[in-house]
Amino acid sequence: MPPQDQDHRPPRRPLALLNARLIDPATGLDAFGGMLIAGGVIADLGMHITEGTIEGAETLDCGGRAVAPGLIDMMVFAGEPGHEHRETLATASRAAAAGGVTTMLCMPDTDPVIDDVALVDFILRRARDTALVNVHPMAAMTKGLLGEEMAEIGLLYDAGAIAFTNGKTSVANARVMRNVLAYAKDFGALIVHHLEDASLSQSGVMNEGEIATRLGLRGVPAAAETIVLERDIRLVELTGGRYHAGQISCRASLDVIRDAKARGLPVTCGVSINHLTLNEHDIGSYRTFFKMKPPLRAEGDRRAMIEGVASGDIDVVVSAHDPRGAEGKRRPFAEAADGAVGLETLLGAALRFYHNGEVTLHRLLKAMSANPAKLLGLGTGRLAKGAPADLVLIDLEMPWTVEPERLCSKSKNTPFDGARLEGRALVTFVAGRPVYHYA
């Protein structure tokens, strides 16, 4: 290891988290006890960890609050390089830490696009030097995200790309998509795909239906998503490649995923917290903070997404964190940029479904920690001896109001402006080191 990569910080004393509700969605653990952290990993945990059984360790009394694995966000548009005015790895990581997110995956929609080994290396080094949380780059699966020529997947994978995606665009060419899946299979690499038939969604800015007609806006039919998904499933059958639908947003797509899983195909899917909590009615009087890709759907589709998380058919919940400045949002709805920030509100918004009894706490946390860790081959996302001490201390009952000006993200385009949430991260640990304290 080069000298500049060495950690010259003095070793920390062991840290004992006492009087905690230990929640491990990977195993179903839900018990009161304590945890001992040493050397950046979980050294021990259980009911026997009390103030009287530890010696020489710092202590933190959790007051009965929940200690869970840190969240893993599989969809973050960080902006760096090229769009640092919207977000940097440093500011995104601060937002992540404030939201209990200990690992974030950066999308390749940057300038230049992350389709080269040197850019993967840049992200890894930049994150090492500036980020508070773990950062893993997703690399482009086609050169320039143009969908025409496959990127050097093998070289990018060896350089540290954790998965491959075409960002916010779909690969229209079925032959290219087939080659990507087949080639990635040789490395066991995960392909994450955006679902949107460009010929159907062209010029569309919101969900197709009565609301779009009333607002005079061009709509995007749900079929634009499902058609691409159904094609991709056929290509997965053909190649055996590992496939993850980055965001689904409608009931028809969920049905396709369920069918593919029933047939034993290596298929998983995610949903954004926006599509779990919001619907097309929230656009109201052309509120551009609610313009997203895929667009917010009908209430019936939103309910289907909740059902999918509750049943486990939807594997992952993401923030789809996409910072946009005033120059992109303060425009007529049809001309405004799509996207919303979400790293800091992911946990609080998700806990709504726990508090109203729609999704169990274990299922919610599993979709934001254990499942992403398993998909990506990470050692985090669990409470176990020897596991990295990437953790979050959560007050499940704490009420708070989202105030955009207090968000750590450089951009403030949150659809939860003024929303009252219940539950938030109090302390976030990465490798046993506290990187965020709620003040």
Answer whether 0.85 is exceeded by the pTM: yes
The 10 Å Cβ neighbour count of residue 215 is 18
Specify burial of residue 289 (Cβ count, 10 A radius: 0-12, 13-18, 19+). Answer: buried
Output the CA torsion sign for 380, 385, 390, 395: positive
DSSP E strands, 199-321:
206-207, 219-220, 242-245, 267-272, 316-318
Q: What is the pLDDT of residue 323?
A: 97
Three-state SS at 413: coil
Q: What is the pLDDT of residue 11?
A: 61
Pairing of strands 242-245, 267-272: parallel
Q: What is the pLDDT of residue 10?
A: 56
Q: How far, in whole angstroms, is CA 264 from its chain's centroid?
A: 25
Let me know: does 153 contact 108? Beta carbons within 8 Å. no
Q: What is the pLDDT of residue 9?
A: 54
Q: Residue written as tokens 């202590």?
A: 59
Q: What is the pLDDT of residue 414?
A: 98
- In the chain the domains, ranked by start, together with CATH numbers, are 11-67+389-437 (2.30.40.10), 70-376 (3.20.20.140)
CA–CA distance, 133 with 130 (Å, rounded to integer):
9
Q: Which helix (H) or strand (E) holds 204?
A: none
φ, ψ for residue 424, nearest 5 deg = -160, 165
Bridge partner residues of 59 (DSSP) = 16
Q: What is the pLDDT of residue 164?
A: 98
User: Tens-of-pLDDT digits for all 439 residues of the chain?
Assistant: 333 444 445 567 899 999 999 999 999 999 999 999 999 999 999 999 998 888 889 999 999 999 999 999 999 999 999 999 999 999 999 999 999 999 999 999 999 999 999 999 999 999 999 999 999 999 999 999 999 999 999 999 999 999 999 999 999 999 999 999 999 999 999 999 999 999 999 999 999 999 999 999 999 999 999 999 999 999 999 999 999 999 999 999 999 999 999 999 999 999 999 999 999 999 999 999 999 999 999 999 999 999 999 999 999 999 999 999 999 999 999 999 999 999 999 999 999 999 999 999 999 999 999 999 999 999 999 999 999 999 999 999 999 999 999 999 999 999 999 999 999 999 999 999 999 999 8
